[in-house]
Amino acid sequence: MPPLLLGARDATAIDRAAQRLAQGGLVGLPTETVYGLAADAENATAVQGIFAAKGRPADHPLIVHVAPDAPRAAVDAFASAVPPFAERLIAAFWPGPLTLILPRRADVAAVAAGGQNSVGLRCPAHPAAQAVLRAAAGLGVRGVAAPSANRFGRVSPTTAAHVAEEFADLGEDALLILDGGACDVGIESTIVDCTRGHPVLLRPGVLTPAQLEAAAGEPLRARDEAAPRASGTLESHYAPRAKVRLMDAKQLRAAFQVLGDDAKHIALYSRTAIEAARGTPKRRMPEDAAAAAQELFAVLRELDATGVRLIWVETPPTGPEWDGVRDRLNRAAA
């Protein structure tokens, strides 16, 4: 039997998902960023089930998602301290695509945190995620660990169908997937480290540095060797089976001209119109960074499914609004 797939608009489905979490099971959870593979963050056995299903190293920490009702109280359940600039970031961007790394209370979520003394916390904006988190909280689940619902290192899922495809080998007793439609943001949350007295950007997303600095009231610092481990920050990540290569428009035109019909094993994703061999799988990248982020992972999956060996992608523009897309593509190509 395949995983159990339920529509998120059904209140009964929300209750079943919450009950599955409270019972120590796994749920494919829609959020505004990507779909997560969710389990009770304080149930060590359930969290180990996430690591096993994904094939994820146990020391690679997960992000804990909390309900939007009284989020500060939910933070206090997992974090031992919240600096003032983190309070300001919470006020500005929660619910939303921002994860904060905070000092972890010693008695909670050690497995979800990958054994670190810090924990990543986020309050998602997706209405289905919020409904499940509220219902699960009523059953004693204070937070839900939910990394992207895909095999470790692969392209993140932005639809329920992507999750079902990734975990087709898991039966309905092992995984319940809640279908909340396509994700609005499309790439994972921005991650800011708040454990060292000043905000440090660990992973870019759709929130720009200028937005974060304005809310925090102080400048962001760059990631350094002292930064805690965080989700999605490995050099190679978000990778399809086909090899991804980034090139500018001039390089793409020249390469396709040289290869001609020999380029049929290559797919193309570009903002610029590029002439390629007939039958070349290709998609046009939006000029708008938010629109490009929203469709990025779905397009990589679509092109990968054609069976090509290479996916050539036009390098994104250099503006800060493109940082999240550029980050994901650089890791996919690593």
| pLDDT tens-place string over residues 36-87 | 999 999 999 999 999 999 999 999 999 999 999 877 888 999 999 999 999 9
**Element housing 29 (H / E):** strand 26-29
User: Looking at the structure, do residues 182 and 316 belong to the same domain, yes or no?
Assistant: no
User: Looking at the domain assignment, is residue 259 inside a domain?
Assistant: yes
User: Looking at the structure, do residues 177 and 297 belong to the same domain, yes or no?
Assistant: no
User: What are 107's two structure tokens?
Assistant: 């008695």
Q: How open is the CA angle 259-261-262, to the nearest 5 degrees?
A: 55
pLDDT in tens, 176-226: 999 999 999 999 999 999 999 999 999 999 999 999 999 999 999 988 888
User: Looking at the domain assignment, is residue 160 inside a domain?
Assistant: yes
Show which of 187, 222, 257 is a domain's final residue: 222
| Cα 89 to Cα 91: distance, rounded to the nearest angstrom | 5
Tally of domains in the chain: 2
User: Looking at the structure, do residues 166 and 35 belong to the same domain, yes or no?
Assistant: yes
Mean pLDDT of the chain: 95
User: Looking at the structure, do residues 8 and 123 belong to the same domain, yes or no?
Assistant: yes
What residues make up the domain containing 321? Answer: 243-333
Cβ atoms of residues 184 and 95 within 8 Å: no
DSSP state, 151?
Answer: S
User: Looking at the domain assignment, is residue 183 inside a domain?
Assistant: yes
User: Looking at the structure, do residues 131 and 76 belong to the same domain, yes or no?
Assistant: yes
User: What are 131's two structure tokens?
Assistant: 């409904």
| Cα 166 to Cα 144: distance, rounded to the nearest angstrom | 20
In CATH, what number is assigned to the domain containing residue 286? 3.40.50.11030
User: Looking at the domain assignment, is residue 229 inside a domain?
Assistant: no
User: Looking at the structure, do residues 185 and 294 belong to the same domain, yes or no?
Assistant: no
Number of Cβ within a 10 Å radius of residue 156 = 27
